[in-house]
Every structure is written in C-alpha cells, then in structure tokens.
C-alpha cells in the first residue's frame, strides 16, 4: 500500500497569504511606477492674481508626478487657506490630467493703517499688507478699526461704512471703473465721495448708487476737473462746480 503524506494546512495557508502579498506589492509597484499615470497636464482656470507656476508651486505637485499620489480634497483645502483664493474645485481626469478651477478674491482698494496699507476685497477682507501701494486701485478712507487679521474681514466699528464699500465695489466692478478711481471716502455714510482723477464726486448715501454711477460715466466724458454733486439725481439733477 502507498504511504499517505499528511498535508500541512498551516503551511499551505501561509504560502497563499505570502503569494497574495507579493502580488499586491507587484501591483502597487506597477501602478506607482507606470508612466501611464504620470501627470502630463495641469490645467488652471480663473487665476488672475497668481500665475500658473505659482499655483503649481503652492500645491507642491508637478508634471511627471504619479496621479495616485494626488490628494484632491487636501489640495483644495490648502489652496483655500490663501486669502486671495475664495474657492478651489479640482477635477481629476484619469489617467494623467488635473484641472484646477479657482475663484479668486479681487483687491478693490487700500486702507491706510499705522504706516502700512491693507489690501482689501469688496467685503472688507484683508488679503495682504504692504508698506507701499502699487496697484492701480483706490485708497479707502473712513473705516474705523483697532486691529486686523490677514484673511479676515476688518472688524470695523462703523459697519454701515463697510456695507457702503461692498455696494460701491459691486457697482465699480460692474462698470469697470476701478482703475479710474483714486480715492473712496466713506467717513460719513450719508456723504460719501469718489475721487476720480481731478474730479471730487459727492455720491451721498448708497440709495440709487447704480444710477449715480451711470450718470457719473456720462459726466466724465464732459468734465475732467472740478466738483460734481450727484446726491439729488432722484430729482433729475446733477450739479457741477469748476475748481476755483
């Protein structure tokens, strides 16, 4: 009779597990070293303040890196930590493309503060600070506050004036006047002023602000120096006074 050889089930089970682990390791090595998943395109949309090179530097991920190593949610969160970036949406197109769509905040003015200038957006959020102002945007005067934090809205005492800035900014951006305005003064919410080149424009409160801006655009084509009072346009009247 033949001799029966007992099967060592523990050894067989270990062999299967070991083989499985080896196959898993081979699979991951193949995936992470395959040129198929090396990123060939990083497409960036909506960026104005930052260049494509600066965005790529921020995400610390470059062409040729393996797409499996890209952490979409982590990168979106990282980008939105920058005060200039309001929203970041990333789409991964397998096997080798990344699309980044940004919504940036836009500087609408500078606020002087203790020897420096605070760059603010339309909501009064501080985007950055500088010892000098160089961008072609207006100085904003009349906001009262004791401190600030980069990335946060200015904690102003006169909240009505901050609200006026938001309304003004919306209209100024709508009619593409940002580069024409030298100064915005909201010290008195009922007697606000825009300074455009050599024109001092009394805007009054924020009522009918859209209409006031439309009138201002027409007047700017006629006068470039003097004082303009637009506080009574509800009566169909604007008053111009030449400089004396």
pLDDT attached to residue 235: 80
Q: Which residue has the higher pLDDT, 243 or 30?
A: 243
Q: Is 220 exposed, middle or buried (0-12, 13-18, 19+ CB in 10 A)?
A: middle
Checking if the pLDDT of 86 tops 70, the result is: yes
Output DSSP code: residue 160.
Answer: H
State the virtual CA torsion across 157, 190, 210, 237 in degrees, nearest 10. Answer: -170
> Domains of the chain, with CATH numbers?
35-104 (3.10.20.310), 109-241 (3.40.50)
Q: How far apart are CA 123 and CA 236, in angstroms?
A: 31
pLDDT band with cut points at 50, 70 and 90 for residue 242: confident
Per-residue pLDDT tens for 55-67? 999 999 989 898 9
User: Dmax over Cα atoms in the chain, in whole Å?
Assistant: 129
- How would you classify the pairing of strands 181-185 and 225-229? unpaired
Checking if the pLDDT of 53 tops 80, the result is: yes
For residues 100-105, give the mean pLDDT: 97
Residue ranges of alpha helices (H) inside the chain are 9-33, 52-59, 72-80, 159-174, 209-220
pLDDT attached to residue 8: 53
pLDDT band with cut points at 50, 70 and 90 for residue 37: confident
Q: How far apart are CA 45 and CA 163, in angstroms?
A: 30
**Token pair 């009918």 is at which residue?**
208
pLDDT attached to residue 197: 84
pTM: 0.81
């Amino acid at each position: 009779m033949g001799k029966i050889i007992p099967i060592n089930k523990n050894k067989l089970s270990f062999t299967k597990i070991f083989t499985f682990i080896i196959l898993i390791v081979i699979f991951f090595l193949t995936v992470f070293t395959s040129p198929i998943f090396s990123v060939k395109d990083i497409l960036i949309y909506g960026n104005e303040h930052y260049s494509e090179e600066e965005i790529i530097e921020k995400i610390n991920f470059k062409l040729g890196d393996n797409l499996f190593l890209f952490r979409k949610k982590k990168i979106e969160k990282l980008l939105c930590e920058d005060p200039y970036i309001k929203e970041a949406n990333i789409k991964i197109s397998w096997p080798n493309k990344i699309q980044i769509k940004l919504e940036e905040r836009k500087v609408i003015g500078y606020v002087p503060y203790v020897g420096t200038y605070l760059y603010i957006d339309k909501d009064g959020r501080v985007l950055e600070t500088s010892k000098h102002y160089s961008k072609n945007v207006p100085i904003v005067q009349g906001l009262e506050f004791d401190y600030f934090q980069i990335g946060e809205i200015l904690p102003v005492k006169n909240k009505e004036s901050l609200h006026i800035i938001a309304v003004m900014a919306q209209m100024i951006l709508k009619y593409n006047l940002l580069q024409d305005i030298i100064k915005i003064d909201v010290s008195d919410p009922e007697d606000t002023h825009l300074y455009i080149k050599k024109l001092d424009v009394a805007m009054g409160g924020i009522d009918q602000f859209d209409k006031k801006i439309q009138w201002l655009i027409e007047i700017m084509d006629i006068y470039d120096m003097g004082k303009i009072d637009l506080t009574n346009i509800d009566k169909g009247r604007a008053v111009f006074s030449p400089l004396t």
